Amino acid sequence: MSGARTKDGFSTIELLAGVAVMGIVVAIALPNWRGWFSYYSLNNSTRQVQSELHEIKMRAAAENIGFQLEYLQDANAYTIQRDGKTLVNKPLADGTTITKAGTISFSPRGTAGANRVRLSSADGKCRQIVVSATGRVRVCTPNNCALDC
């Protein structure tokens, strides 16, 4: 192989073909990615509120005083209160809103003023965090955002 010349690398045409294929894949995948971001934001907010409810239930029992989680319709944040006095306002993930106002109260015995937090994503998906009178906190997904589950 005295006179053989090797070429390392890619030609311009090969590079352009690779970039074009990647562009097509991105164009197909981009709408699906936006849906996933909305889905993850809704799930993140749902877990956040559920965790917060568990925490204030435990704090009510530990501190022997009532705690409340208060939320407003079309808000993207909620308020934690201790014996009716605001402790902190906490934001939800971007693109997530509360669809109906309400308050969930926990007594020092761990029982609750039964209610539910209704969350909605920007693309219309819904989740609910339901609190029973015994203080049990659970998450559900309704078939229709206007209905309870």
Helices and strands of the chain, counted as H and E runs: 1, 8
Segment 23-69, tens digit of pLDDT: 888 888 777 666 667 788 999 999 999 999 999 999 999 999 999 99
Select from 93, 91, 78 the least CA-distant residue to 39. 93
**Please, where are the H alpha helices in the chain?**
12-63
Query: How far is residue 77's CA from residue 94's CA, in Å, rounded to a whole number?
Result: 10
Helix (H, G, I), strand (E, B) or coil at 140: strand
Rg (CA), the chain: 25
2 has a pLDDT exceeding 80: no
The pLDDT tens digits of the residues spanning 101-136 come to 999 999 999 899 879 999 999 888 999 999 999 999
Q: What residues does 90 pair with on adjacent strands?
A: 78
Please name each of the domains of the chain with its CATH number.
12-140 (3.55.40.10)
Short-list 51, 40, 36, CA closest to 129: 51
> Is pTM, for the whole model, over 0.85?
no
